[in-house]
Amino acid sequence: MAELSGLIRPERSIQSIVQEARSGASQHKVIDRWGWRSRGDGRVPIQVGRGEGAGQPMAQVKTQPRWAFWKYREAYRFEVRREAKQVKHKILGFYRSRPIRGLSLSANTIRFQRGTLFGSFFSPIERHHRQEVIVEWQTSGAVTQVTCTYRCFDPYPNLPTAPRVLEQEVEELQKAIAG
């Protein structure tokens, strides 16, 4: 057992990470109890757990309605360290793994529709609902900022709860692009 203790390093606890951030010894200025770090431009969520992607900035919510009824819009933004050409191919590969239609490409935008009216009425899964998806990206240096906008149709009023399906999809897209 003594041989193994030298090989295994204990993981840092969340409390030690927060204390380090508050003392200024970390690269992050402040991390509060909800996992947000403070930057000059506002609050950006980060993952503080273990495993793949820990410490990477998560998708930032641009627009998210409290009530989802009839037509609503959700938008998310994240940054990755990739070239624009690589980002475009990764995004296309990610979304083509699911059924889409009406795909249109431009220099910095991918636009398509998915889901059906039937799915909007009878499926509880948001990806089956009729949606128009717009993915835009802008590159500045080695960092590419990706914005995903979903224009959705939901015929029944509902109060979306966390975790939101589309937000999880954007986080999966971010991992696919970064990986």
Residues 6+ apart with CB under 8 A from 52: 175
Which CATH fold would you assign to the domain 60-178?
Alpha-D-Glucose-1,6-Bisphosphate; Chain A, domain 4 (3.30.530)
101-158: pLDDT as tens digits:
999 999 999 999 999 999 999 988 888 899 999 999 999 888 999 999 999 998 988 8
In this structure, are residues 84 and 176 in contact, taking their beta carbons and an 8 Å threshold?
no
Q: Where in the chain is the domain with CATH 3.30.530.20?
A: 60-178
**What number of residues does the chain have?**
179
38-84: pLDDT as tens digits:
433 344 444 433 334 445 567 888 888 877 888 999 999 999 998 88
